[in-house]
Amino acid sequence: MKIKQFTNEKLGESVFCAVHPSGLEIRVLPKEDYDSAYAIFGVKYGSIDTAVKNDKGEFEGIPEGTAHFLEHKLFESEDLNAFERFAKTGASANAYTSFEKTAYLFKGSSKIDESLEILLDFVQNPFFTQQTVEKEQGIIGQEIRMYQDSPSWQVMFNLLRALYSVHPVRIDIAGTQDSIAKIDADLLYRLYNNFYNPANMVLCVVGGVDPQEIFDIVDRCIKSSEGKKCERKFEKESPLPVQGYVEERLSVAEKQFMLGFKEDISEPLLSLEDEIATSVMIDALTGRSSALFKRLIDEGLVDMGFGGELFNGFGYSCVMFGGTSKDPEKTAEIIKEEIKNAQTNGIDKAAFERSKRKAYGRFVMNYNDIDDTANLLMDMGFNGYEPFAELDACRNLTLEKVQERLAVLKEESAALSVISPIG
């Protein structure tokens, strides 16, 4: 393997990168003063992957929730499960499935080499039986029901269903009761063999490790493969939402809301510059020192939990504002009013500079936490960016670019999701 070193002099950090002959991308950031290490092994397979190419090169639908289901099952084996194996090294292991990826990870302060070997081994050796699959269907079914009773979860997914008509981001990560009932052992093996090939995966290790030792372990443990990166299906969405307002009643003390602005995108992914510019724009508009935040607080419409965020990925992008409110509809109108004002008169330069510095500081602080650093390196790898690219993009960000991103927030593309108390 050819190892390439990326160094950021200001941070005093270096990332060592290589691509294994199997296609696996590896990123290692050693920290001399750290006793612990964090490793994450990610696959570009998430809940939005509800179609896979068949032998004819055509996209074929698969049940919703399979990526999450597969994550649950991969820890099992004919002998000790992965958690029992990690217990012997003292490492804490976990996994998660998001809209665009599934990741397996561990954190430990001793026997890092052994733990890494376990991580690479169990992810590469699936073991499914129809009996264990049926048992898992009951467990995940309970998880789905639990999320259906979660106000914060439902207010977001109700908004996504209001915004998106065809994109699978509108579907719960765990799927539905009906969709997981269609999953069997044969399907899991087929999907595993499609998505879980090293060329579709990234391994990141951060902490008290020696990069060469990590590369040697990978070279020894990764199976040879002729796999290739999986192709995702991109379907152009309408720029308009499915509906402008959706409300659900749950057991809550106060109303919760989420206002979303759907972006009309022609390319599957936003650029890193666009992502950072949008986040800076949101903070300049709604941050703690903004006029909008002060007005909403003064009028008693929101509490300190109010905020905004960019929610984007392959084939989708929207800006969300949310929190609790005694009057979500009035709050939404005030937010829209402030957006129009900023689009007409421009974002305040001082607010832009403040939000830009805040974003840059947040990126820098990521490197103090081995968990955050590893996850950041993985995400950057999946999206094709070199280490530290986010720092350069943020440092070079201009007010003009932020103003350009503000223009994508159009009132006709907005939808409001509300959770109200029962009764």
Close Cβ partners of 328 (under 8 Å, ≥ 6 residues apart): 255, 256, 257, 259, 416, 418
**Cα–Cα distance list, 419 to 155, 248, 301, 305 (Å):** 6, 5, 15, 16
**Among 234, 316, 228, 222, which Cα is nearest to 275's?**
316
If you search the block for the tokens 């998106």, which residue do you land on? 164
Number of neighbouring beta carbons within 10 Å of residue 198: 23
- Helices 349-366 and 370-382 pack at an angle, to 10 degrees, of 110
Whether residue 93 contacts residue 83, with contact meaning beta carbons closer than 8 Å, is answered with yes
| Residues shown for the chain | 423
Q: Let me know how many helices (H) and strands (E) the chain has, helices first.
A: 15, 14
Rounded-to-integer distance, Cα 224 and Cα 112, Å: 23
Beta bridge partners of 320: 260, 309
Per the structure block, which two tokens stand in for 215? 């590369």
Q: CA angle at residue 414 from 409 to 417, to 5 degrees? A: 135
* Measured distance between the N- and C-terminal CA atoms of the chain, rounded to whole angstroms: 64
Question: What would the two tokens of residue 362 be?
Answer: 């947040």
Cα–Cα dist 306/300, whole Å: 12
Residue 56 burial (C-beta neighbours within 10 Å; 0-12, 13-18, 19+): exposed
Residues that are catalytic: 71
Give me the DSSP letters along 258-317. Answer: EEEEE---SSSS--HHHHHHHHHHHHHHHSTTSHHHHHHHHTTS--TT-EEEEEEETTEE
Integer Cα distance of 137 and 135 in angstroms? 5
The H or E element that residue 97 is part of is strand 92-97
